[in-house]
Amino acid sequence: MRQVSKKIDNSYVVWFERSNRWIQFEEPAWYINKLYQKGDSIEIIENKFAERYSFEKDECSGIVKEIWNNIDEAFNTNIVLEDDLNAADFINNSNIEKFSLKRYLVNGKIIEIEYSSRLAEYYIHPPLAYLEIPKFSGVADSSFHIIDQGEYKLIFQKDNENTGWVYNDFMKLKKRLFINMANTMYNKTTNNWLSFVHASTLSNGEKAVLLSSPSGKGKSTLAALMQTRGLKVVSDDFVPIDVKLKRAFPFPAAISIKPGAFSIIKPYYKNISGFYFKETAEGIVHFIPPSKDEESDMRPLPVKEIIFINYEPGVECRFNKLSITESLKLFHNQAWVSHEPEHARRFINWFVNLQFFSLTYGNVGKGMKKISELLN
C-alpha cells in the first residue's frame, strides 16, 4: 500500500491509500510512522523509540502503542465504495412503479430522471426544478432511474449499461446523482475529478471562493445574500474540482434556504414566495435559482480561498486565518477526495497553495462585508 506525504512547517501530512485518509504527524509520531513503513515490529519500534528519545522502555510503551494503532488502522482499513455493490441484487421486485419523469436542461445537455415515488422526487427534484423543461421528444444525454425500495435507495444510469448504486438514504444517493450529472455536463468520468466539496461557491468572474460548512451553519444563506451584491453563486452544496485544472466547475442547483434563515433572506428577495419550495417538519425550504449569465455560467474557475462558515446569532463577526493543517481536517469533514495515489499528490500540492479562513457571524451585514473584501 502506498503513502503520499507532504512536509508543512514542522509537521507532515500523510495520505494512506487503503483508507483514503490524511493524518498529520509531528515528532515523535513521524519517526514511528517511518519505522512502521519499514516493516519494523512494535517491539523493535519501542526499543528504537526508547533509545532515540532517552525513555525507559516501560515509559514509552503506551505512547508507541497508541500511535502504532492509529497508523495500523489507517494502513489496513479498506474504504467501502458503493461501486462495489450490485444494485440489481437489492431490488425486491421487477415491477417498479413510475411516479414521475423529469427532464432538465443544463450546460446544453438534457438529463432525464425517472422517480419511482413521491418521496424520491421530494428529495431530489427541488434544487433542480428551475432547470426543468416541460416538453422534450428527443433522446436525453443521460437517463437515471431513482428507485425507493424502503430500506434501500437505488440509482440506475440507463445510458451507461444500467450501472447502479445502492444507498440507505436519499442524501447519499443525491451526491452520486450529482457526480454523474457533472460527468454528463462536462463530458468527464468520475476519475477526472479531484474532489467534490460540500460548499457554496461564489465568483467575481475571475476566481471562486468556497464557503464550506456542515448543513445548517449558514453557508447557503450567506451565498444567497452575496448574490444580491452582484457576486455569482455558481454552486450550492456540491462543488466538483477537476484533476487537470484544479478548478471549481459550476453545478447550478438552486440555493437551498432553510426555514430558520427565511427571515434573513426575505428583505433581500422581493419575490421569494414565487420560488420553488418544499415543506419539511421544520417548515418550508425555499430554493433560489442562481442569477443567469450565459457567457460565464459554466466556466471553471480557479480556487484561491476556502472559508469555513459558522452562523451564531450571538456573535457579531469573527474572521480568522487558519493554518493548512487545521484546514485539512475541516476540509475532509466536508469533502470527498479521490482515492487514486496520483490524485492524492495533486490534491495536496493544490491544497497547500490555498488560503483558509474561518468566519463566524451573527451580524449578517458584517459577514457579507468580509466576503466582499476578500473577493473585491
Which residue did the predictor score with more confidence, 115 or 292?
115
Spatial separation of the C-alpha atoms in residues 61 and 58, rounded to whole Å: 5
Q: What is the pLDDT of residue 84?
A: 47
Q: Return the minimum-mean-pLDDT range out of 123-137, 156-170, 202-216, 240-254.
A: 156-170
Query: Residue 157 burial (CB < 10 Å; 0-12/13-18/19+)?
Result: buried
Q: Whole-model pTM?
A: 0.89
CA distances from 100 to 87, 154, 171, 181, 216 (A): 21, 16, 19, 19, 29
Dihedral of alpha carbons 121, 124, 126, 132, sign: negative
CB atoms within 10 A of CB 211: 27
Q: How far apart are the first and last CA of the chain?
A: 45
Contacts of residues 163-169 at CB distance under 8 Å and 24 or more positions apart, as own/partner, are 164/86, 164/87, 164/88, 165/82, 165/83, 165/85, 165/87, 166/82, 166/85, 166/87, 166/90, 167/82
Q: What is the pLDDT of residue 81?
A: 54
Spatial separation of the C-alpha atoms in residues 112 and 132, rounded to whole Å: 10
Spatial separation of the C-alpha atoms in residues 269 and 248, rounded to whole Å: 27
Structural domain spans, the chain: 3-76, 83-187, 193-375
- For the stretch 69-122, pLDDT in tens is 999 998 888 766 555 456 666 665 556 778 999 999 999 999 999 999 999 999
Residue with cell 461501486: 83
Helices (H), the chain: 29-38, 42-53, 57-76, 118-124, 170-186, 219-227, 262-265, 324-332, 341-351, 364-375
Dihedral of alpha carbons 124, 130, 132, 134, sign: positive
Q: Return the minimum-mean-pLDDT range out of 50-64, 133-147, 254-268.
A: 50-64
Q: Which CATH number fits domain 193-375: 3.30.1450, 3.40.50, 3.30.1490, 1.10.10?
A: 3.40.50
pLDDT band, very low/low/confident/very high, at 295 (cuts 50, 70, 90):
very low
Whether the Cβ atoms of residue 298 and residue 185 lie closer than 8 Å to each other: yes
